[in-house]
Amino acid sequence: MKNKHAFITGIAGFAGGHLVKELLDAGYTVSGSVFKDDSPEQIKLLKKTCNIYKLDILNKSRVSKLIAKVKPNYIFHLAAFSSVGQSFAYERLTYDINFNGTLNLLEASVGLQKLRKFVFISSSECYGKFSPKTKTLTEDEPLNPISPYGISKVAAEHLCKLYHSRFELPVVIARAFNHAGPGQNENFVIPSFCKQIAMIEAGRQKPVMYVGNLSAKRDLSDVRDIVRGYRLMAEKGKAGVVYQLCSGKSITIQSVLNKLVKLTKKKINVKIDKKFFRKNDIPLIRGDFSKAKKEIGYNPNYKIDKTLLNSLNYYREKM
Ligand code: A2R
Protein backbone atom coordinates (compact mmCIF):
# COMPACT_ATOMS: atom_id res chain seq x y z
CA MET A 1 0.00 0.00 0.00
CA LYS A 2 1.27 3.46 -0.92
CA ASN A 3 3.08 5.32 1.89
CA LYS A 4 2.46 2.48 4.33
CA HIS A 5 5.69 0.60 4.00
CA ALA A 6 7.08 -0.46 7.38
CA PHE A 7 10.61 -1.74 7.91
CA ILE A 8 11.26 -3.76 11.10
CA THR A 9 14.74 -4.49 12.41
CA GLY A 10 14.81 -7.71 14.45
CA ILE A 11 11.76 -8.92 12.49
CA ALA A 12 12.41 -12.59 13.36
CA GLY A 13 12.59 -11.88 17.08
CA PHE A 14 9.82 -12.46 19.62
CA ALA A 15 8.04 -9.11 19.24
CA GLY A 16 8.94 -8.85 15.53
CA GLY A 17 6.73 -11.75 14.45
CA HIS A 18 3.74 -10.33 16.32
CA LEU A 19 4.35 -6.85 14.93
CA VAL A 20 4.37 -8.23 11.38
CA LYS A 21 0.88 -9.65 11.90
CA GLU A 22 -0.36 -6.43 13.50
CA LEU A 23 0.93 -4.32 10.59
CA LEU A 24 -0.22 -6.64 7.79
CA ASP A 25 -3.70 -6.76 9.33
CA ALA A 26 -3.71 -2.95 9.33
CA GLY A 27 -2.88 -2.81 5.61
CA TYR A 28 0.86 -2.13 5.72
CA THR A 29 3.49 -3.49 3.38
CA VAL A 30 6.17 -4.97 5.61
CA SER A 31 9.85 -5.70 5.20
CA GLY A 32 12.56 -6.24 7.75
CA SER A 33 15.97 -7.46 8.70
CA VAL A 34 17.30 -10.58 10.36
CA PHE A 35 20.74 -10.97 11.84
CA LYS A 36 21.54 -14.68 11.88
CA ASP A 37 19.77 -17.52 10.15
CA ASP A 38 19.21 -19.40 13.39
CA SER A 39 15.42 -19.52 13.08
CA PRO A 40 15.04 -20.78 9.47
CA GLU A 41 11.41 -21.92 9.93
CA GLN A 42 10.36 -18.50 11.21
CA ILE A 43 12.23 -16.75 8.38
CA LYS A 44 10.66 -19.03 5.78
CA LEU A 45 7.24 -18.13 7.16
CA LEU A 46 8.03 -14.40 7.18
CA LYS A 47 9.22 -14.54 3.58
CA LYS A 48 5.68 -15.48 2.49
CA THR A 49 4.44 -12.00 3.38
CA CYS A 50 7.50 -9.76 3.76
CA ASN A 51 10.79 -8.90 2.08
CA ILE A 52 13.52 -10.11 4.38
CA TYR A 53 17.10 -8.79 4.33
CA LYS A 54 20.13 -10.05 6.19
CA LEU A 55 21.70 -7.23 8.17
CA ASP A 56 24.10 -6.72 11.04
CA ILE A 57 23.07 -3.35 12.42
CA LEU A 58 26.69 -2.80 13.45
CA ASN A 59 27.66 -2.67 9.80
CA LYS A 60 27.18 1.07 9.26
CA SER A 61 27.58 1.22 5.48
CA ARG A 62 25.32 -1.79 4.93
CA VAL A 63 22.67 -0.23 7.18
CA SER A 64 22.69 3.04 5.24
CA LYS A 65 22.68 1.27 1.86
CA LEU A 66 19.77 -0.96 2.83
CA ILE A 67 17.66 1.87 4.29
CA ALA A 68 18.36 4.00 1.19
CA LYS A 69 17.23 1.10 -0.98
CA VAL A 70 14.10 0.15 0.98
CA LYS A 71 12.99 3.78 1.62
CA PRO A 72 10.46 2.88 4.33
CA ASN A 73 7.73 5.21 5.54
CA TYR A 74 7.94 3.71 9.01
CA ILE A 75 10.88 2.17 10.83
CA PHE A 76 10.36 -0.02 13.89
CA HIS A 77 13.71 -0.56 15.51
CA LEU A 78 13.42 -3.78 17.51
CA ALA A 79 16.84 -5.33 16.89
CA ALA A 80 18.69 -5.44 20.17
CA PHE A 81 20.64 -7.42 22.69
CA SER A 82 17.40 -7.98 24.59
CA SER A 83 18.26 -10.02 27.68
CA VAL A 84 18.73 -7.98 30.86
CA GLY A 85 20.27 -10.94 32.70
CA GLN A 86 22.78 -11.79 29.99
CA SER A 87 23.73 -8.15 29.46
CA PHE A 88 25.99 -8.43 32.54
CA ALA A 89 28.02 -11.17 30.87
CA TYR A 90 28.01 -9.49 27.44
CA GLU A 91 28.32 -5.88 28.54
CA ARG A 92 30.29 -4.43 25.62
CA LEU A 93 28.20 -6.29 23.06
CA THR A 94 25.04 -4.92 24.69
CA TYR A 95 26.31 -1.33 24.38
CA ASP A 96 27.48 -1.96 20.82
CA ILE A 97 24.24 -3.41 19.51
CA ASN A 98 21.81 -1.29 21.49
CA PHE A 99 23.64 2.04 21.20
CA ASN A 100 25.89 1.94 18.12
CA GLY A 101 23.37 -0.16 16.23
CA THR A 102 20.69 2.45 16.95
CA LEU A 103 23.11 5.23 15.95
CA ASN A 104 23.72 3.52 12.59
CA LEU A 105 20.01 3.26 11.96
CA LEU A 106 19.27 6.85 13.00
CA GLU A 107 22.08 8.14 10.78
CA ALA A 108 20.75 6.12 7.87
CA SER A 109 17.24 7.53 8.42
CA VAL A 110 18.17 11.22 8.34
CA GLY A 111 17.16 12.62 4.97
CA LEU A 112 14.76 9.79 4.12
CA GLN A 113 12.18 11.74 2.13
CA LYS A 114 9.06 9.82 3.01
CA LEU A 115 9.83 8.70 6.54
CA ARG A 116 6.79 9.35 8.69
CA LYS A 117 7.90 7.80 11.97
CA PHE A 118 10.87 6.03 13.52
CA VAL A 119 9.69 3.94 16.48
CA PHE A 120 12.47 3.12 18.90
CA ILE A 121 11.77 0.29 21.32
CA SER A 122 13.04 1.07 24.78
CA SER A 123 12.25 -0.53 28.10
CA SER A 124 11.02 -0.06 31.67
CA GLU A 125 14.54 -1.23 32.62
CA CYS A 126 15.55 2.41 32.02
CA TYR A 127 14.01 3.34 35.39
CA GLY A 128 16.24 0.92 37.29
CA LYS A 129 16.26 1.69 40.99
CA PHE A 130 13.57 4.16 41.96
CA SER A 131 12.30 5.52 45.25
CA PRO A 132 10.11 3.10 47.25
CA LYS A 133 7.72 6.06 47.56
CA THR A 134 7.04 5.75 43.82
CA LYS A 135 4.06 3.45 43.63
CA THR A 136 3.41 3.76 39.92
CA LEU A 137 5.94 4.70 37.26
CA THR A 138 5.16 7.44 34.77
CA GLU A 139 7.27 8.71 31.87
CA ASP A 140 8.56 11.53 34.12
CA GLU A 141 10.27 9.22 36.63
CA PRO A 142 14.06 9.83 36.74
CA LEU A 143 16.07 7.20 34.86
CA ASN A 144 18.49 5.31 37.05
CA PRO A 145 19.38 2.07 35.21
CA ILE A 146 21.12 -0.73 37.08
CA SER A 147 21.97 -3.15 34.28
CA PRO A 148 24.09 -2.80 31.14
CA TYR A 149 20.88 -3.40 29.18
CA GLY A 150 19.12 -0.52 31.00
CA ILE A 151 22.10 1.78 30.49
CA SER A 152 22.23 0.96 26.78
CA LYS A 153 18.53 1.74 26.33
CA VAL A 154 18.73 5.04 28.28
CA ALA A 155 21.71 6.11 26.17
CA ALA A 156 19.93 5.12 22.96
CA GLU A 157 16.81 7.04 24.04
CA HIS A 158 18.96 10.17 24.43
CA LEU A 159 20.41 9.57 21.01
CA CYS A 160 16.90 9.33 19.53
CA LYS A 161 15.92 12.61 21.18
CA LEU A 162 19.06 14.27 19.84
CA TYR A 163 18.27 13.11 16.30
CA HIS A 164 14.80 14.50 16.70
CA SER A 165 15.96 17.92 17.91
CA ARG A 166 19.00 18.12 15.62
CA PHE A 167 17.60 16.73 12.36
CA GLU A 168 13.84 16.80 12.98
CA LEU A 169 13.80 13.04 12.60
CA PRO A 170 10.27 11.93 13.60
CA VAL A 171 11.36 9.56 16.38
CA VAL A 172 9.00 8.22 19.04
CA ILE A 173 10.18 6.17 21.99
CA ALA A 174 8.22 3.19 23.34
CA ARG A 175 9.12 2.32 26.91
CA ALA A 176 7.76 -1.23 26.95
CA PHE A 177 7.22 -2.99 30.26
CA ASN A 178 7.49 -6.78 30.64
CA HIS A 179 5.55 -8.63 28.00
CA ALA A 180 4.97 -12.28 27.21
CA GLY A 181 3.13 -14.49 24.76
CA PRO A 182 3.72 -17.24 22.24
CA GLY A 183 7.20 -17.34 20.72
CA GLN A 184 9.24 -15.89 23.59
CA ASN A 185 12.51 -17.67 24.32
CA GLU A 186 13.19 -19.38 27.61
CA ASN A 187 15.67 -16.77 28.88
CA PHE A 188 12.63 -14.95 30.22
CA VAL A 189 10.72 -16.03 33.30
CA ILE A 190 7.30 -16.98 31.85
CA PRO A 191 8.62 -19.03 28.92
CA SER A 192 11.09 -20.68 31.28
CA PHE A 193 8.15 -21.85 33.44
CA CYS A 194 6.13 -22.86 30.36
CA LYS A 195 8.96 -24.83 28.84
CA GLN A 196 9.54 -26.72 32.08
CA ILE A 197 5.83 -27.60 32.39
CA ALA A 198 5.72 -28.75 28.77
CA MET A 199 8.87 -30.86 29.31
CA ILE A 200 7.32 -32.45 32.42
CA GLU A 201 4.07 -33.18 30.53
CA ALA A 202 6.09 -34.76 27.73
CA GLY A 203 7.99 -36.91 30.25
CA ARG A 204 11.28 -35.21 29.38
CA GLN A 205 11.84 -33.64 32.81
CA LYS A 206 11.21 -34.96 36.33
CA PRO A 207 8.15 -33.25 37.88
CA VAL A 208 10.32 -30.62 39.55
CA MET A 209 10.44 -26.98 38.46
CA TYR A 210 13.36 -24.73 39.24
CA VAL A 211 12.45 -21.10 39.80
CA GLY A 212 14.06 -17.85 40.98
CA ASN A 213 12.73 -14.94 43.04
CA LEU A 214 8.95 -15.41 43.24
CA SER A 215 8.18 -12.35 45.34
CA ALA A 216 9.06 -9.78 42.68
CA LYS A 217 6.05 -7.91 41.31
CA ARG A 218 5.97 -7.05 37.65
CA ASP A 219 3.74 -5.14 35.26
CA LEU A 220 3.00 -7.77 32.67
CA SER A 221 1.37 -7.32 29.27
CA ASP A 222 0.60 -9.52 26.31
CA VAL A 223 3.01 -9.02 23.43
CA ARG A 224 0.01 -8.62 21.08
CA ASP A 225 -1.13 -5.55 23.04
CA ILE A 226 2.39 -4.15 23.11
CA VAL A 227 2.88 -4.41 19.33
CA ARG A 228 -0.48 -2.71 18.79
CA GLY A 229 0.97 0.07 20.91
CA TYR A 230 3.97 0.26 18.56
CA ARG A 231 1.64 0.65 15.57
CA LEU A 232 -0.44 3.30 17.34
CA MET A 233 2.74 5.18 18.21
CA ALA A 234 3.77 5.12 14.56
CA GLU A 235 0.38 6.43 13.47
CA LYS A 236 -0.49 8.87 16.25
CA GLY A 237 2.56 9.39 18.49
CA LYS A 238 4.16 12.83 18.75
CA ALA A 239 7.74 13.00 17.50
CA GLY A 240 10.34 13.35 20.22
CA VAL A 241 7.99 11.92 22.86
CA VAL A 242 8.26 8.86 25.15
CA TYR A 243 5.24 6.61 25.75
CA GLN A 244 5.00 3.87 28.34
CA LEU A 245 3.27 0.70 27.18
CA CYS A 246 2.18 -1.44 30.11
CA SER A 247 -0.83 -3.03 31.82
CA GLY A 248 -1.03 -0.59 34.73
CA LYS A 249 -1.20 -3.53 37.18
CA SER A 250 1.42 -5.56 38.97
CA ILE A 251 1.44 -9.27 39.67
CA THR A 252 3.87 -11.40 41.68
CA ILE A 253 5.88 -14.02 39.84
CA GLN A 254 4.44 -16.43 42.43
CA SER A 255 0.89 -15.74 41.15
CA VAL A 256 2.05 -16.24 37.57
CA LEU A 257 3.55 -19.58 38.56
CA ASN A 258 0.38 -20.62 40.43
CA LYS A 259 -1.75 -19.81 37.39
CA LEU A 260 0.53 -21.83 35.13
CA VAL A 261 0.67 -24.83 37.46
CA LYS A 262 -3.16 -24.84 37.48
CA LEU A 263 -3.10 -25.28 33.69
CA THR A 264 -1.50 -28.72 33.90
CA LYS A 265 -2.81 -32.03 35.24
CA LYS A 266 0.70 -33.03 36.34
CA LYS A 267 1.67 -32.70 39.99
CA ILE A 268 4.67 -30.43 40.08
CA ASN A 269 7.19 -29.73 42.84
CA VAL A 270 8.55 -26.20 42.84
CA LYS A 271 12.16 -25.66 43.94
CA ILE A 272 13.76 -22.25 44.46
CA ASP A 273 17.18 -22.04 42.84
CA LYS A 274 19.36 -19.10 43.94
CA LYS A 275 21.17 -19.18 40.63
CA PHE A 276 18.10 -17.56 39.06
CA PHE A 277 18.20 -14.64 41.53
CA ARG A 278 19.43 -11.35 40.11
CA LYS A 279 21.58 -8.97 42.07
CA ASN A 280 19.78 -5.62 42.47
CA ASP A 281 16.43 -7.12 41.50
CA ILE A 282 13.70 -4.47 41.77
CA PRO A 283 10.88 -5.67 44.11
CA LEU A 284 7.95 -3.93 42.44
CA ILE A 285 7.37 -2.51 38.99
CA ARG A 286 4.06 -1.03 37.93
CA GLY A 287 3.50 1.43 35.11
CA ASP A 288 0.81 3.88 34.11
CA PHE A 289 -0.37 4.01 30.49
CA SER A 290 -2.56 7.15 30.84
CA LYS A 291 -0.40 9.18 28.47
CA ALA A 292 -0.47 6.48 25.78
CA LYS A 293 -4.23 6.09 26.29
CA LYS A 294 -4.88 9.81 25.96
CA GLU A 295 -2.54 10.58 23.07
CA ILE A 296 -2.55 7.43 20.93
CA GLY A 297 -5.63 5.54 22.17
CA TYR A 298 -3.69 2.68 23.75
CA ASN A 299 -5.74 0.24 25.83
CA PRO A 300 -4.58 -3.29 26.63
CA ASN A 301 -7.11 -5.99 25.69
CA TYR A 302 -5.54 -9.31 26.65
CA LYS A 303 -6.16 -10.92 30.03
CA ILE A 304 -3.14 -12.47 31.73
CA ASP A 305 -4.78 -15.94 31.82
CA LYS A 306 -4.99 -15.98 28.03
CA THR A 307 -1.38 -14.83 27.66
CA LEU A 308 -0.21 -17.62 29.97
CA LEU A 309 -2.30 -20.32 28.28
CA ASN A 310 -1.08 -19.27 24.81
CA SER A 311 2.54 -19.20 26.03
CA LEU A 312 2.23 -22.68 27.55
CA ASN A 313 0.54 -24.05 24.42
CA TYR A 314 3.40 -22.66 22.32
CA TYR A 315 5.87 -24.80 24.29
CA ARG A 316 3.51 -27.79 24.30
CA GLU A 317 3.44 -27.63 20.49
CA LYS A 318 7.23 -27.33 20.37
CA MET A 319 7.59 -30.55 22.38
O1 A2R B 1 19.75 -13.10 16.06
P2 A2R B 1 18.53 -12.79 15.25
O3 A2R B 1 18.65 -12.94 13.78
O4 A2R B 1 17.30 -13.45 15.78
O5 A2R B 1 18.26 -11.20 15.47
C6 A2R B 1 18.10 -10.60 16.72
C7 A2R B 1 18.24 -9.10 16.46
N8 A2R B 1 19.65 -8.70 16.56
C9 A2R B 1 20.31 -8.06 15.58
N10 A2R B 1 19.90 -7.63 14.37
C11 A2R B 1 20.81 -7.03 13.60
N12 A2R B 1 22.11 -6.84 13.95
C13 A2R B 1 22.56 -7.26 15.15
N14 A2R B 1 23.83 -7.06 15.48
C15 A2R B 1 21.64 -7.91 16.03
N16 A2R B 1 21.73 -8.47 17.26
C17 A2R B 1 20.51 -8.94 17.57
O18 A2R B 1 17.43 -8.48 17.42
C19 A2R B 1 16.69 -10.74 17.28
O20 A2R B 1 15.80 -11.31 16.36
C21 A2R B 1 16.26 -9.29 17.58
C22 A2R B 1 15.75 -9.10 18.98
O23 A2R B 1 14.73 -10.02 19.19
P24 A2R B 1 14.45 -10.69 20.61
O25 A2R B 1 15.77 -10.97 21.26
O26 A2R B 1 13.50 -11.79 20.43
O27 A2R B 1 13.82 -9.49 21.42
P28 A2R B 1 12.29 -9.03 21.53
O29 A2R B 1 11.73 -9.59 22.76
O30 A2R B 1 11.58 -9.23 20.25
O31 A2R B 1 12.50 -7.49 21.79
C32 A2R B 1 12.27 -6.50 20.81
C33 A2R B 1 12.67 -5.14 21.39
C34 A2R B 1 14.13 -5.07 21.80
O35 A2R B 1 14.61 -3.81 21.44
C36 A2R B 1 14.09 -5.24 23.30
O37 A2R B 1 15.21 -4.67 23.91
C38 A2R B 1 12.79 -4.54 23.65
O39 A2R B 1 11.91 -4.86 22.58
O40 A2R B 1 12.23 -4.97 24.85
- pLDDT for position 1: 59
**Delimiting residues of CATH 3.90.25.10 domain(s) in the chain:** 182-218+250-283+302-318
- pLDDT for position 235: 98
The answer, yes or no, to whether any atom of ligand 1 lies below 6 A from the CB of 84, is: no
Query: Best mutation site among 78, 186, 220 for ligand 1, i.e. most ligand atoms within 8 A of its Cβ?
Result: 78
Quote the ligand 1 centre to 97 CA distance (angstroms).
Answer: 9
Give the orientation angle of helix 253-262 with respect to helix 304-318, to 10 degrees: 60
Q: Tell which atom from ligand 1 comes closest to the C-alpha of 57.
A: 12
- pLDDT for position 37: 73
3-state secondary structure string, the chain?
CCCCEEEEECCCCHHHHHHHHHHHHCCCEEEEEECCCCCHHHHHHHCCCCEEEECCCCCHHHHHHHHHHHCCCEEEECCCCCCHHHHCCCHHHHHHHHHHHHHHHHHHHCCCCCCCEEEEEEEHHHCECCCCCCCCECCCCCCECCCHHHHHHHHHHHHHHHHHHHHCCCEEEEEECCEECCCCCCCCHHHHHHHHHHHHHCCCCCCEEEECCCCCEECCEEHHHHHHHHHHHHHHCCCCCEEEECCCCCEEHHHHHHHHHHCCCCCCEEEECHHHCCCCCCCECCECCHHHHHHHCCCCCCCHHHHHHHHHHHHHHHC
Quote the ligand 1 centre to 10 CA distance (angstroms).
Answer: 5
* DSSP summary character for residue 34: E
Task: Give domain 5-179+221-248+291-296's CATH superfamily.
Answer: NAD(P)-binding Rossmann-like Domain (3.40.50.720)
Nearest residue CA, atom 17 of ligand 1? 80
Q: What is the CATH number of domain 182-218+250-283+302-318?
A: 3.90.25.10
Quote the ligand 1 centre to 243 CA distance (angstroms).
Answer: 20
Tens-place pLDDT, residues 166-189 = 999 999 999 999 999 999 999 899
Quote the ligand 1 centre to 83 CA distance (angstroms).
Answer: 9
**Delimiting residues of CATH 3.40.50.720 domain(s) in the chain:** 5-179+221-248+291-296
- pLDDT for position 187: 86
Res. 274 pLDDT band, cuts 50 70 90: confident
The answer, yes or no, to whether any atom of ligand 1 lies below 6 A from the CB of 57, is: yes
Tens-place pLDDT, residues 206-256 = 999 989 889 999 999 999 999 999 999 999 999 999 999 999 999 999 999
Q: What percent of the chain has pLDDT over 70?
A: 99
Query: Best mutation site among 61, 82, 179 for ligand 1, i.e. most ligand atoms within 8 A of its Cβ?
Result: 82
Q: Tell which atom from ligand 1 comes closest to the C-alpha of 15.
A: 30
The answer, yes or no, to whether any atom of ligand 1 lies below 6 A from the CB of 35, is: yes
Whether pLDDT at 27 is above 70: yes
Nearest residue CA, atom 36 of ligand 1? 82
Quote the ligand 1 centre to 13 CA distance (angstroms).
Answer: 5
pTM equals 0.96
Q: Tell which atom from ligand 1 comes closest to the C-alpha of 96.
A: 14
Tens-place pLDDT, residues 87-143 = 999 999 999 999 999 999 999 999 899 999 999 999 999 999 998 888 899 999 999
Range 255-274 average pLDDT: 94
Q: Tell which atom from ligand 1 comes closest to the C-alpha of 11.
A: 20
